[in-house]
Amino acid sequence: MLVYLVPLFPLLGFLLNGLFRKSLSKSIVGIIGSGAILASFIVSCILFFDVKSGGALQVQPLFQFINISSFKIDFAFQVDQLSALFLLIITGVGFLIHVYSTSYMHDEKNEHFARYFSYLNLFVFSMLFLVLGANYVIMFIGWEGVGLCSYLLIGYWFKNDNYNYAAKKAFVMNRIGDVGFLLGIFWLLSKLGTANYNDVFANVHQLSSTDITGITVLLFIGAIGKSAQIPLYTWLPDAMAGPTPVSALIHAATMVTAGIYMVARSNALYSLSAVAENLVAIVGIATALLAATIAIKQNDIKKVLAYSTVSQLGYMFLGLGVGAYTGSVFHVMTHAFFKALLFLGAGSVIHALHNQQDMRYMGGLRKYLPVTHITFLAGCLAISGIPPFSGFFSKDEILAAAYANHHEVYWALGVVGAGMTAFYMFRLYATTFLGEFRGTEEQKNHLHESPLAITIPLLILALLAVVGGFVNVPGVFGGNSSLHQFLAPVLKTENVPELTSSKDFMLMGVSVGVAILGIVIALAKYIRKPELNEPQGLGKVVANKWYVDEIYNTLIVNPLSYLGAFFKNVIEKSGIDGFVNGVGTFIQYSSRRLRLVQNGKVGTYILLMVFSVVVLFVVFWNQTNIIDFFQKIF
Amino acid sequence: MIALLLILVPVIGGLIALFIKNETTVKGFALLVSIITLLLALAGVYSNSSSQLHYDISWMPDLGSRITLGLDGVSKILVLLTAISLPIIITATYKNTYPGAGKFYGLMFLCQAGMLGVFLSMDVLLFYFFWELALIPAYFLCSIWGGEKRIQVTFKFFVYTFVGSLLMLVSILFIYFKTPDHSFAMQSFYHVKLSASQAQWMFWLFFIALAIKMPVFPFHTWQPDTYEQAPTAVTMLLSGVMVKMGVFAVIRWLLPIFPQASQNNSSIIIIFAVIGMLYASLIAIRQDDMKRLIAYSSIAHVGLMCAALFSNQQVGMQGVIIQMFNHGIVIIGLWIVADAIEKQLGTRKFSELGGLAQKAPTLAILFVVLCLANVALPLTNAFVGEFLMFNGLFLYNPVIAGIALIAIILAAVYTLNMIQKIFYGNTVALTENAHDSSFNINAALVILVIVVIVLGIYPQPMLNLAQQGANLFITKIP
């Protein structure tokens, strides 16, 4: 029952900080908020080592959530290798972000500071819920929970209407995905009468191939929304409106990895549907490339990182699509380290520059922010896939798996994307940290390294970003792929043929070579000439994110809005209502004229009754036609 | 005995209240009576003794009608809703003043008694009697204490519902003459044999009355106007409880009496209900008036209930039964906030509001929780109901369920719009000097929020009650 403590601590933190936000001092709030996550982390460690040592962790349901005759859904948690690993990532990285926040958010007013920490705790709570649930419905509770928390935190500065808009967009986009998720659950329930992972995966043979394809595709729509893939990715870059540590939390520890978790968790289903696997892979690689092109042209430091997250998530989905489940989960882990590091590093920069996020007004920060600089560089090398940094091992595993499963095209496109990744990351690095400072004199005089609460989390994350890859060293380097062995009981359908070591080395050589090339070009270009120009031509289209937001607005949002206005102003006013009022007026008028009865009102009722009968008669007469008409449609 | 007392207490309380002149006295008295009714209802919900839950006495033997009252699973849930609503409404609107307060509260109680009667009646004529009894006080409440356009709007409301009632009466009388023993008793009606075409006609006469009450598209146009013009306390009663009379009557009467016709006509009704959901949601997105937005949101939610009712699935039926309760709780809360804002600032227009969260943080938090329930977020009470209803609809037809689910996306849009435009952003001239809500409003909202969360985390007791109801009625449909 230890497992129930894991989400309980953040929940208590949320309640305490939320309810007593006016009376608690900032230091107490920080201790409660961070301490709750630390406590969860400690319990998670215990659970993790239990699982690792082969301890059987049968978790009893807490109570029956929905128990009706056609199905039964328990309020139950489950700890296995996959969820234990995610627990460590969520609480570990989450804890560092909390500590960082105590300093980063210190200028906030007391009660808003507490509000911030209570939301942060709630966010971690929801994510833990999502990962721990023993069935799809409990997962869905956490799933919508993180959507809510992202809404609350993106719109944390609620006086700013643009931020509110971004928050709303995140929630609505997620909801679109959630509809798919819900339909998938309904389909599962209708066929198997259960949503428990164990029961579903044990009974997949009862499902027809149509069922499996339908369910997996619908669930994947949910993953598209939550993990910001084409076509529902546009909320994530806008989510930058929230405070920077929140971005780190969304991008690294919680939220966006949920989609990966869900597909990996459902590997028993996905591996049976070639259609779904191909869809996942294609959406993944397409998103990876599209987001990378956009990242190249962004000038806002957080936007570059945001699009890089979208792109890296694309790689993870590519891995899931080609059957490399472990590789994807591995990349979730390494990405959590280096992306949290990069975002927190960016936050340190923004903090030092007094909320300047535009890279055109940065430069030369290496001298002023030495710790931030060196840790940030480690993050850049890790995400670019330079050996022996962590990102190298995980990205390489996904690309090699694509190649080994005869998706050479995906592999080639993935390598191109890796080159772009290296390029835009070092474009960011060069314009921010190298060269001369391009901000105002006043900013320059105030430049200073951030306090310990910020730099210590950076150092820890940098260490993890450097060495994190060693937990899963592949055979060619004499490792024993320990993560594979650890996760094998959950990711049973992993399917990656062995490559010969010569081929393996060749593939690595190519991708590392392309990445280094990207770095060299970026450095050569931006050290010499760090000023970022206003983009022209195609560059402008890319800088404006291919105008995808505008296209969505024109094609979907605006027409629906106009339709609503049309219904409101025309149909309601003159259509249905006009008809009813017209009838009323007509009857009042005629009854007065006809003086059939003394009391006008009674007359109204009688006439109206007669009238209604006539209307009904007409409806009945045509009823078969109406029903036929609709039956044809469906 | 409880069944009878549940009606007698509000009737007697209401009659006494009519003659109390002093406003403070009548408010205290009203709160007391409503709490007694609530305690009775709670006793009824927890009781299993048949003698407590049933009451039967001869009424009009020549006609074959008896006063038969009974509390079963479905009616327990609705009686509880009706009984909880009134103390909450009275508390939340405690500071509102009404000219002739005695009459106001008296009529409220008579209306409540009528609704309780509707939920308790096991005899069709009695049911019809209470149906009208609930309607007439509501008509007076709207036309006397309503807003500027009250006469016009109340007329529309009255015509609509009255026409419906007449159609229903025709149907009831027709079936009565077809019963072998010429009786209005529930069992006689359930076992009546009608030819296919008779059933078809009578089904529609009956259904249109209920469709107006719910209301289902395209019979809904009385609702936004009435909700806007009625005094807010009455709007709460209408939208929180009275619209459930329509849904309830489908479960209690329509489906069991016309099993075959219900099934034959289900596709057209479900299609209209789903169209109505999307139609009302799109209109809600474009509203600038808080009350009208809530009204259209309610039409969308009730549309889902109607669709699930006719999906002929037990899971959907169970969802409808618990959602009747949940919807009532949530929407009463939303009206309370709307009323608090209007009473304090004199407007309900989003374009004139903004930034209220800075001035009224408590109200903002409570409102946001209720809004989350309005979009059926998991761990709020509405999630369980909507999950089951959509599930039922999915079993009926996956494509229709998929289309209907678009409504939950639109719900997120208009609900978050509403939060943003009232509470977020910078303060405007009107909200510059606003203050937080008063104690009585907060108390009422806190109780509702607790119900929202408790039933969201642990819905099983409610589901068990609903199961009784769903078992009883779904089996009637072949």
What is the arithmetic mean of pLDDT over B139-163?
82
- Residue A80 phi, psi dihedral angles, 5° rounding: -140, -170
Confidence of residue B9 (pLDDT cuts 50, 70, 90): very high
**Start-end of H helices in A544-576:** 548-552, 558-566
Cα separations in angstroms, A343 against A297, A375, A523, A584, B387: 18, 11, 21, 65, 37
Quote the pLDDT of residue B281.
Answer: 93
Say how far residue A575 (Cα) sits from the centre of its chain. 43
- Which residue type does A630 have? F
Which residues on chain A are in Cβ contact (under 8 Å) with B318?
68
- Given the DSSP bridges, would you call strands A72-75 and B65-70 parallel, antiparallel or unpaired? unpaired
Say how far residue A75 (Cα) sits from the centre of its chain. 24
Lowest-confidence segment of A451-465, B36-50, B62-76, B226-240 by average pLDDT:
B62-76
Cα separations in angstroms, A36 against A92, A113, B334: 12, 16, 33
- Residue A43 phi, psi dihedral angles, 5° rounding: -60, -40
Query: Which of A564, A609, A631 minimises the CB distance to B283?
Result: A564
Query: What are A518's two structure tokens?
Result: 């990207």
Cβ distance of B204 and A619 shorter than 8 Å: yes
On whether the CB atoms of residues B294 and B335 are closer than 8 A, the answer is: yes
Tell me the C-alpha distance between B322 and B59, whole Å: 33
Contact residues, A window 180-239, toward B, CB-based 8 Å cutoff: 182-183, 186-187, 189-190
Query: What are A45's two structure tokens?
Result: 């460690």
Q: Which of A122, A123, A119, A116 is nearest to A102 (CA)?
A: A116
Contact residues, B window 330-389, toward A, CB-based 8 Å cutoff: 355, 357-358, 361, 372, 377-379, 384, 387-388
Quote the pLDDT of residue A602.
Answer: 42
Quote the pLDDT of residue A97.
Answer: 93
Contact residues, B window 444-463, toward A, CB-based 8 Å cutoff: 458-460, 463
Which residues on chain B are in Cβ contact (under 8 Å) with A567?
279, 282-283, 286
Which residues on chain B are in Cβ contact (under 8 Å) with A586?
none
Quote the minimal CA–CA distance from A580 to chain B in Å: 8
DSSP A388-408: TSHHHHHHHHHHHHHHHTT-H
Quote the pLDDT of residue B276.
Answer: 92
DSSP A121-159: HHHHHHHHHHHHBSBHHHHHHHHHHHHHHHHHHHT-STT
- Residue A5 phi, psi dihedral angles, 5° rounding: -70, -30
| Segments of chain A scoring below 50 in pLDDT | 594-600, 602-606, 609
Residue where the block lists tokens 């943003």:
B420
pLDDT (tens digit per residue) in B174-228 = 888 888 888 888 888 888 888 888 888 889 999 999 998 888 888 888 888 888 8
Tell me the C-alpha distance between A471 and A81, whole Å: 14
What is the arithmetic mean of pLDDT over B371-386?
93
Residue A69 CB: number of other CB atoms within 10 A? 12
Tell me the C-alpha distance between B66 and B183, whole Å: 9
Quote the minimal CA–CA distance from B130 to chain A in Å: 20
Q: Please say if the pLDDT value at position B230 is more than 70.
A: yes
**Start-end of H helices in A20-109:** 26-52, 81-104
For B336, the 3-state DSSP assignment is: helix
**Start-end of H helices in A529-576:** 537-543, 548-552, 558-566
- What secondary structure letter does DSSP report for A359? G
Query: What ipTM was predicted for this assembly?
Result: 0.91
For residue A265, the surrounding DSSP H or E stretch is helix A257-265
Residues facing residue B55 across a β-bridge:
B69
Tell me the C-alpha distance between A574 and A568, whole Å: 10
Q: Please say if the pLDDT value at position B23 is more than 70.
A: yes
Q: Which residues contact residue B140 at a Cβ distance below 8 angstroms, ignoring those fewer than 6 apart?
A: B107
Q: Which residues contact residue A619 at a Cβ distance below 8 angstroms, ignoring those fewer than 6 apart?
A: A626, B204
On whether the CB atoms of residues B315 and A73 are closer than 8 A, the answer is: no
Tell me the C-alpha distance between B392 and B71, whole Å: 26
A15, A62, A70, best to mutate vs chain B, most B CBs in 10 Å: A70
Tell me the C-alpha distance between B475 and A18, whole Å: 48
**Start-end of H helices in B179-264:** 186-190, 196-213, 222-229, 232-237, 243-249, 255-257, 259-264
- Vertex A430 angle, CA A237 and A352, to 5°: 70
Cβ distance of A68 and B314 shorter than 8 Å: yes
Note whether B408 contacts A: Cβ–Cβ < 8 A: yes
Query: What are B130's two structure tokens?
Result: 């209470």
What is the arithmetic mean of pLDDT over B110-117?
92
Residues facing residue B232 across a β-bridge:
none
Helix B361-374 to helix B381-396 angle, to the nearest 10 degrees?
A: 20
Tell me the C-alpha distance between B74 and B251, whole Å: 9
On whether the CB atoms of residues B259 and B312 are closer than 8 A, the answer is: no
- Given the DSSP bridges, would you call strands B65-70 and B54-60 parallel, antiparallel or unpaired? antiparallel
Tell me the C-alpha distance between B192 and A175, whole Å: 47
- Residue B259 phi, psi dihedral angles, 5° rounding: -60, -45
Nearest CA in chain A to B293: A568
Query: Which of B218, B318, B420 minimises the CB distance to A576?
Result: B218
Q: Please say if the pLDDT value at position B477 is more than 90.
A: no
B159, B166, B313, best to mutate vs chain A, most A CBs in 10 Å: B159
Q: Which residues contact residue A421 at a Cβ distance below 8 angstroms, ignoring those fewer than 6 apart?
A: A292, A308, A311, A312, A383, A384, A385, A515, A518
Quote the pLDDT of residue A14.
Answer: 93
Quote the minimal CA–CA distance from A108 to chain B in Å: 14
Residue B298 CB: number of other CB atoms within 10 A? 28
Tell me the C-alpha distance between B277 and B405, whole Å: 10
CB pairs under 8 A between A and B: 163
Quote the pLDDT of residue A532.
Answer: 64
Phi-psi region of A448 (alpha: psi -120 to 50; beta: other; left: phi over 0): beta
What integer best gives the mean pLDDT of chain B? 88
On whether the CB atoms of residues A243 and A99 are closer than 8 A, the answer is: no
What is the arithmetic mean of pLDDT over B285-314?
91
What is the arithmetic mean of pLDDT over B355-371?
89
Quote the pLDDT of residue B284.
Answer: 92
Query: Which of B155, B201, B424 minimises the CB distance to A158?
Result: B424
Residue A602 CB: number of other CB atoms within 10 A? 12
Helix A274-296 to helix A301-321 angle, to the nearest 10 degrees?
A: 160
Q: Which of A617, A589, A616 is nearest to A603 (CA)?
A: A589
Cα separations in angstroms, B196 against B249, B262, B478: 21, 11, 15
- What secondary structure letter does DSSP report for B219? S
Contact residues, B window 204-243, toward A, CB-based 8 Å cutoff: 204-205, 208, 218, 221-222
